[in-house]
Amino acid sequence: MQNAVKIHVNGEERAWRSGTTVADLLTELDIKTERVAVELNLEILDRAAFGQRQIKDGDRVEIMSFIGGGSF
Amino acid sequence: MTDDRLIIAGREFKSRLWVGTGKYKDFAETKKAIELSGADVVTVAVRRVNITDRSKENLLDYIDPKKYTILPNTAGCYTVEDAVRYSRLARAAGVSDLVKLEVLGDERTLFPDTAGLIEAAKILIKEGFIVLPYTNDDPIVAQKLVDVGCPAVMPLAAPIGSGLGIRNPYNLKIIMEMIKVPIIVDAGVGTASDAAFAMELGADAVLMNTAIAGAQDPLAMAEAMKYAVHAGRLAYKAGRIPRKLYATASSPIEGML
């Protein structure tokens, strides 16, 4: 039985299931793993770790990618 | 000029015009403008993925990383910590170790915080990044950036997006003479003659975004910039005539009546 947890993804609070991995979250959000970087509680993850790292209650996940930009 | 290649940190670049990918109407226009500019280096920013609207397309579906060198930047970072964090995220997103490092000092001018820039460059170079720093037109800072291991330096021509052109050609010239790594003039170019001027001064490349994307016809301006950078480079290599106060006739006196 998977329990409901609350996490923050890209600054937004979301209900999620415990016992799942970062890879599961990306799949659920329909995000391809190539060309994204994932930061879990300020730790940048290796892409190879997406399938192993469990998501826990209160986790803060940042999913980053490239967008158009020159300078700012 | 087939042998006139730009080499930075062992990488060879075909084009001396580098372009940003911001401010275009859509990705199709971005792609077309980049093609017309002939640039083979394109800068991108690192931002949160839109998780609520997944229908949004990805820039890299249009800009093939196999065809272009993707140069992630740390645009919008005002602290060393942020610039380092964004650089690490860019590398983790999997393009390369290259980063165009920006540490901004002020929102109104977007001038770089050069002390923070040097500090961030040191940290990132220690971690194996190839750091291309966006800096002021200050020769001493440029040298310090080289001293900490930057393989190229990117001084501004004028404030980002200002279109003011080459505001301080003398400082830029000093940087080009003093600094022994490639100099890429970054930011402030407004039109083609600005880009040609930067190249005539001896810049190794020019990086721009707004001058193309913000033009009334971005595609035409992209092409204009390609020729301007090429012409400026050729003129620099050709060696211009000295400036003189008085005329020198270009037709002979001999044979006149």
Nearest-neighbour CA in chain B from A12: distance (Å): 9
- What is the per-residue pLDDT across B178-227, written as a single tens digit (0 to 9) for each? 999 999 999 999 999 999 999 999 999 999 999 999 999 999 999 999 99
DSSP string, B168-181: -HHHHHHHHHH--S
Poorest-pLDDT segment among B65-69, B172-176, B210-214: B65-69
First to last CA, chain B: 44
Mean pLDDT value across chain B: 93
**What secondary structure letter does DSSP report for A26?**
H
Which residues are registered as beta bridge partners of B8? Answer: B11
* Alpha-carbon gap, residue B224 to B244, rounded angstroms: 30
Taking contacts as CB-CB distances below 8 angstroms, the residues of chain B near A27 are none
Say if the Cβ atoms of A71 and B51 lie within 8 Å.
no
Q: How many residues belong to chain A? A: 72
| pLDDT at residue B96 in the model | 86
Helix (H) or strand (E) holding B131: strand B130-135
Interface check for A13 against chain B (CB to CB < 8 A): the answer is: no
Interface check for A15 against chain B (CB to CB < 8 A): the answer is: no
Give the distance from CA B207 to its chain's centroid. 2
Residue B37, token pair as written in the block? 């500019």
| pLDDT at residue A72 in the model | 61
B133 three-class SS: strand
- What is the per-residue pLDDT across B113-124, written as a single tens digit (0 to 9) for each? 999 999 999 999
| pLDDT band at B171; cut points 50, 70, 90 | very high
The interface predicted TM-score (ipTM) is 0.91
Interface check for B140 against chain A (CB to CB < 8 A): the answer is: no
Average pLDDT rounded to a whole number, residues B16-23: 93
Determine whether B126 is an active site residue: no
| pLDDT band at A1; cut points 50, 70, 90 | very low
Please name the residues in contact with B50: beta carbons below 8 A apart, sequence gap of 6 or more: B56
Q: Which residue has the tokens 């170790």?
A: B97
